[in-house]
Structure 1
């Protein structure tokens, strides 16, 4: 029975890779706060990031996107991330974040094209809608991280405003801006940071207006025809 359940889980995962990517990213939101304060936690954070990268590659491979582009971004990102942590080369971290953010943007674009390629809404496309949102949030969080490292003092906050913002703070800001709720105490103060925040605000509004509304409309139309 256990083997049957594992096989069924594997078949479901292969059929809905977007759901697995979404679940892992949401799990990361819960785990990240415990990963930032210790060396072991930061190492685990790096390993977890590689798992997400692997899932992102899997999703791209399942779509109609150009796979070699994703691989050309992911491989150097992993190498630089490993060298920055285990090779004691922290200067490479900014380039690892730059490449990881690029891969997430590319994966989000791939999933968006996948959701818009036909006029039928499948269960995997609904999972892809959630996964695309989280991919965009992660991608902009990496962009904020790069901005902060290239332009120190880009973001301030109510707590320890003189210190660089942690990954969890930048991810919190990204989710707040992308969802347009604005419930964040992190404030962009440099022009470069404000430009990124404006781009994310635009991306969030357009994503909801174009992708989510289209999926909802197609789902309602299908239900009416079925009824």
Structure 2
């Protein structure tokens, strides 16, 4: 929250564009005994960074860079023992022009279909999409939060950075525990979603942020 408050104070950002991006089921189910760290692979990080690049021209025309942060979840909320790889990405409605060293604000309005197409293309570029049908698109959800709305903002932050154990305690009754891989279950119990800053937010120290 400290970094978000810094961004709110030092840039014209007033909205957060929230994007929940799902990976294909075959990618989720490929999470095996030794593949839990797949979520930190270069391919997935590459897909997220490429998605941001594809998103930029859909939001503004200037040659500037988007900025935000994300977390990666590996489990399904209602059935937490089932692998379900998805990304909770949050983008501030300001872009940074490195040449002019200036920020400019844009309206955080975007077509849901455009988001799905961009995410599919980003996944495809990293070998994480295999459906040849142009009409087939990944599951994505788009929303908006005004930064001044602290209740909704904090709710979003708590939601995307919660641990799997929270959903396991709440929804264990929905799970089939008869065929659970103990290594997978152990990995879930130990997993803590990381807060990863991307784009111009990657290095806030250059703007004066102090840890």
TM-score using structure 1 length: 0.30
TM-score using structure 2 length: 0.31
Q: Write 1 or 2 for the structure with the bigger share of strand.
A: 2
Q: Write 1 or 2 for the structure with the bigger share of helix.
A: 1
